[in-house]
Structure 1
Amino acid sequence: MMENNYMKNESKITKQDNFQIADQIFQSRLMLGTGRYKNTQEAISSIKASKASIITVAIRRMQNSKNIGKSSLIDVLNWQKLWLLPNTAGCETADEAIRIASLGMEINKKIGQTNNKFIKLEVISDSNYLLPDPLGTLKAAEYLINKGFIVLPYIYPDPILAKQLEDVGCHAIMPLGSPIGSGQGIKNLHNIQIIIENAKVPIIIDAGIGKASEANHAMEIGATAILINTAIAKSSDPNIMAESMKLGVISGRKCYLAGTMQKNSHGKASSPNEGILKVI
């Protein structure tokens, strides 16, 4: 819900605007993926330009925790300043996602984040549009939560499913704006607004954002954070695009906190009628 108390909002805007998932507090509301970059150096410099706090990495790309220390991206990032969000990308069933998630926790321990139980849950059996499986996601989420994981499920923006996942104990919900890597922006705006309105946990828009204006819009409607990968990695200049997305997220968040004016069907003069000089 939009906030209207100016003094309350002013204090929110001037102080550091962190957000929280479970017991972890993060400074940046822009989260980054690590796939599709031309090379490791380009990924590192983009992450630096974005000022992101949370970085997600597909567990399958890491193959197994024994590969840690063999010149991969995960070896060269500073995990004292960044938070790793392992994800189950590539898993087609709930059982497969559950097995991969367990490996993710082991990787967290390998990089020194022994208290990190976060997992981005993806269960995708649709190879064409890459839409997540709602039943498989719910099944895997329940199991992983019972095993102590902090589960962030990636879902189609279905308000009922989002509430069910929250009710079983998910600490954040990640509805897609449009299909993964499509750059179509937010195609399910109304559903996402309903999810945000009903949620008591962070709502992170994940997938489909192609431009900084789209990231800005997502934050303006009250999203907690944005996760972006392809829009940065496949741009002509990922460093500049990463900074652009950072600024778009910051601007959209401040707009949301400030509270926007009401739309009017007619124009309204910004200057008062009183005191206008009459021409004789």
Structure 2
Amino acid sequence: MDKLIIGDVELDNRLFIGTGKFPNKKIIPDVIKSSESKVITMALRRVDLKSKEENILDYIPKDYILLPNTSGARNADEAVRIARLAKAMGCGNWIKIEVISDNKYLLPDNYETIKATETLAKEGFVVLPYMSPDLMAAKNLVNAGAAAVMPLGAPIGTNRGLETKELIRILIDEINLPVIVDAGIGKPSHAAEAMEIGADAVLVNTAIATAGDPINMGKAFNLSVKAGRIAYLSKTAPEKEFAEASSPLTGFLNK
């Protein structure tokens, strides 16, 4: 079987999904089911153990892997505090590091992300850092103890697809950790494209949550990720500059 291994966990589905931006939290369990995702990310600020209505954990089945993120952190220290709080609240030891101090483009701070990753990996967290796709930063994340790297495809929430495709391809070629494309994926075709070039997984939130039918869109992304992975394993045919007929241009008419 083609399993994705992160930390010591084997996953048979390569689509991760988020829980933000849904028009109604009550549909989240149905989206999780249709997407067949096993890893669900959420912002810790949406967890309110005192409020049944606002506690996002009430909408996530218990047998799924929680991937809390450090959304809102502006530096490594804040990200570390959020991660520790998530673990203390019973969210497990997986953590997605998000350190963003840029309010306009919402691009991750790779330097602070590396610092947070090193601290949390030493404490036993399974750290999945969200990053701008830079090879040297990715290598530093590997050395810091990351369990995977999560380069953005385009600025978060833009749905513009793989604008950083060639940079992501370099990470796939050079980094000996799972590469999970995160942010910017807006269509199932974008997800398939990421998988076709060798990404190990994709994380999708906005494109599913803001779709006209989030449940069916979850299903569409599930199928596209599977198709893209099969295409990658099947070794897609090379692109060519000039036309090449699929059938002989000479034959019986010239006999």
TM-score of the two chains, using structure 1 as the length reference = 0.86
Secondary structure of the 1:223 match is: coil
User: Any conservation in 1 of the 2:179–2:199 contact (CA below 8 Å)?
Assistant: yes
CA distance in 1 between partners of 2:69 and 2:8 (Å) = 19
**What SS does the aligned partner of 2:40 have?**
strand
Is 1:196 aligned to 2:181, yes or no? no
Instruction: Report the counterpart of residue 24 of structure 1 in structure 2.
Output: 9
For the 8 Å contact 2:18–2:205, the answer to whether it is kept is yes
Aligned residue identity for 1:120: K
**Which string of whole-angstrom CA distances, capped at 9 and with x for unpartnered residues, describes residues 91-123 of structure 1?**
1111111111001112336xxxxxx42110011
1:74: which partner in 2?
57
Counterpart check, 1:133 vs 2:109: yes
SS in 2 for 1:25: strand
Distance 1:98 1:181 in 2: 24
Q: Kindly provide the amino acid, as one letter, of the partner of residue 59 in structure 1.
A: L
1:150 aligns with 2:126: yes
Q: Which residue of structure 2 aligns with residue 95 of structure 1?
A: 77
Tell whether the 8 Å contact from 2:181 to 2:194 is kept in structure 1 after alignment. Answer: yes
Identity in percent: 43
- AA matched with 1:87: N
For the pair 1:176 / 2:136, whether they are aligned, the reply is no
For the residue of structure 1 that corresponds to 2:105, the secondary structure is coil
Using the TM superposition, name which of 191-200 and 67-76 deviates more: 67-76
CA deviation profile, 1:66-113 (whole Å, cap 9, x unmatched): 448666331242222x1111110111111111111001112336xxxx
Aligned equivalents of 1:263, 1:71: Cα separation in 2? 50
> Aligned-residue CA RMSD in angstroms?
1.8
| Superposed displacement of residue 272, structure 1 | 4.6
Quote the Cα distance in structure 1 between the aligned partners of 2:187 and 2:254: 50
Residue 187 (structure 1) aligned with residue 163 (structure 2): yes
1:277 paired with 2:248, answer: no
User: Could you tell me which amino acid in structure 2 is paired with residue 72 of structure 1?
Assistant: N
Shift of 1:33: 0.4
Counterpart among 11, 14, 35 of residue 20 in structure 2 = 35
The structure that has the greater radius of gyration is 1
Matched, 1:221 2:204: no
Which residues of structure 2 form unaligned runs of 5+? none
SS for the counterpart of 1:157 is: coil
Q: C-alpha separation between the residues in 2 aligned to 1:149 and 1:93?
A: 18
> Where in structure 1 are there 5+ consecutive unaligned residues?
1-15, 110-115
**1:7 aligned partner:** none
Q: Is the 8 A contact 2:67 2:95 kept in 1?
A: yes
- The reply to whether residue 57 of structure 1 matches residue 42 of structure 2 is yes
Residue 6 of structure 1 corresponds to none
- Following superposition, the deviation at residue 271 of structure 1 comes to 3.0
Deviation at 1:277, TM superposition (A): 2.1
